[in-house]
Amino acid sequence: MSRSSCANSAAIHSTALSTCLPRPGDHVHPYACLLASTRLKGLPPPLTVSIADPLHDEANAYVAKLQAAAVPVQTVEMHTPAGVDANARRRSSTDANKFAVMATFVASVSNDAA
């Protein structure tokens, strides 16, 4: 990712946050910043999907906090290790097994809601 696209992405993210969370204190509210939450026990089991992006480390930290609170978590990582060519990354991102895990999770949530 180029510096200009990173800067543009940061500007878009900042604008979106300011629109959705207008007060400065809102940005650290547990609903906006899941890592800030201290009330994790009893949450329904989530599915976390992460990719190799700036939020990957935060996703992993959130999963660790959920697991420490005895919340069962399913995870799907949609990336390959560094150094793998672009075609391998694309194949990894569209791995049918990963989508099957997500579809099964969504179906189970839908069944629970019915």
- Which has the higher per-residue pLDDT, 61 or 24? 61
Q: Burial of 41 by CB count in 10 Å (0-12 exposed, 13-18 middle, 19+ buried)?
A: exposed
HEC secondary structure over 69-94: CCCCCEEEECCCCCCCCHHHHHHHHC
Given pLDDT bands bounded at 50, 70 and 90, which one contains residue 2? very low
Predicted local distance difference test score (pLDDT) of residue 93: 56
Rounded Cα–Cα distance for residues 59 and 73 (Å): 12
Supply the pLDDT for residue 88. Answer: 63
Helices (H), the chain: 3-20, 56-68, 86-93, 96-113
Average pLDDT over residues 58-70: 91
Nearest to 72 by CA among 51, 102, 42, 50: 42
The per-residue pLDDT for 82 is: 59
- Whether 105 and 47 have beta carbons less than 8 Å apart is answered as yes
Residue 47's pLDDT is 87
Least-confidence region, from 26-35, 48-57, 76-85, 93-102:
76-85
